[in-house]
Amino acid sequence: MADDNRLIVLITGANTGIGWETVKALLQSERSYHVLLGTRDLQKGQKAIESLKEVAFNTKSTIKLLHIDVSSDESILKAFDTVQATHGRLDVLLNNAGIALDAEFVFGDTTMREAWNRSYDVNVSGTNILTHTFAPLLLKSSDPRLVFVSSGLASLGRMSEAHYPAPPPIPAGWPKKGAYLPSSYRASKTALNMLMLSWYWVLKEDGVKVWCVEPGFLATGLGGERAVKARSSAGHPSTGGKLLVTVIEGERDADVGKIINGGGIQQF
């Protein structure tokens, strides 16, 4: 077992988007980390590491690929065995891996059932199973942190007041266009908020700090090419990465058990 005084951080879905930007921000930090870059595709993960080395070549931290697919129990268990054998603990688990299939449904590339089932499988079920599997390693840390990446679209309070984001007036009659129908992504991220609250209470007496982080409307590849075009006015994903690092580095410790964003706290 490796004797490593660096904080050990596992980030799922880290080969692109907000995950990649979070790894970059950690590597550029003045603090020292050992980052486990979680990825389903080792080839893409290796390319991600190569690109990270180009922008963080003077880092105090280290980085290692970890093959992990949150929709596969076998993959999760193998990843756990690897981390346990190599480090024996985990200081930060950042549940970043996610999927958005609403655009695929709207354009007929997948069925409604497939979109909803896969969204919950990755965004909720898989995330919960991964967290449950790695919890014993978090409890070995002197300052364990558990973070879930949520969405501004998941606010029940905001949605109860008005449809958010505001669409054109939805005409009466049937059928409704796909874009007007309930969103599998939105619903799954709302469920993720409840998952975070559940883990907050489950692990409270163990000293695990738990949050959801709402990174904002950012230009990532989530949801495929059609969804990317719809985010042409979105912010740069580095904003989300930097926000997540503030949580990892203790700047938002007063807000445990909350959904935090760049402006403060998001209502449930």
Q: Give pLDDT tens digits for 10-29.
A: 999 999 999 999 999 999 99
* pLDDT exceeds cutoff 50 at 2: no
Average pLDDT, the chain: 93
Q: How large is the average pLDDT for residues 35-41?
A: 98
Percent of the chain with pLDDT over 90: 82
**Measured between alpha carbons, how far is 11 from 37 in angstroms, rounded to an integer?**
6
Q: Compute CA distances 89 → 29, 51, 120, 192, whole Å.
A: 22, 27, 28, 24
Q: How confident is the model at residue 229 (pLDDT cuts 50, 70, 90)?
A: low
Catalytic one of 24, 189, 209, 258: 189
Ranking 13-22, 68-77, 137-146, 224-233 by mean pLDDT, the lowest is 224-233
The yes-or-no verdict on residue 225 having pLDDT over 60 is no
Domains of the chain: 7-266 (3.40.50.720)
pLDDT digits (tens, 9 = 90+) for 61-100: 999 999 999 999 999 999 999 999 999 999 999 999 999 9
3-state secondary structure labels for all residues of 18-57: HHHHHHHHHHCCCCCEEEEEEECCHHHHHHHHHHHHHHCC
Task: Exactly one of 61, 150, 151, 184 is catalytic; name it.
Answer: 151
pLDDT at 177: 83
What's the whole-number mean pLDDT along residues 173-188?
91
pLDDT at 159 over 50: yes
Is 229 designated active site?
A: no
**Most confident among 53-67, 162-176, 225-239 (mean pLDDT):** 53-67
Of 33, 183, 184, 185, which residue is the catalytic one?
185
Gap between the Cα atoms of 145 and 256, Å rounded: 10
Would you state the pLDDT for residue 232? 59
To the query of whether residue 185 is one of the catalytic residues in this protein, the response is yes
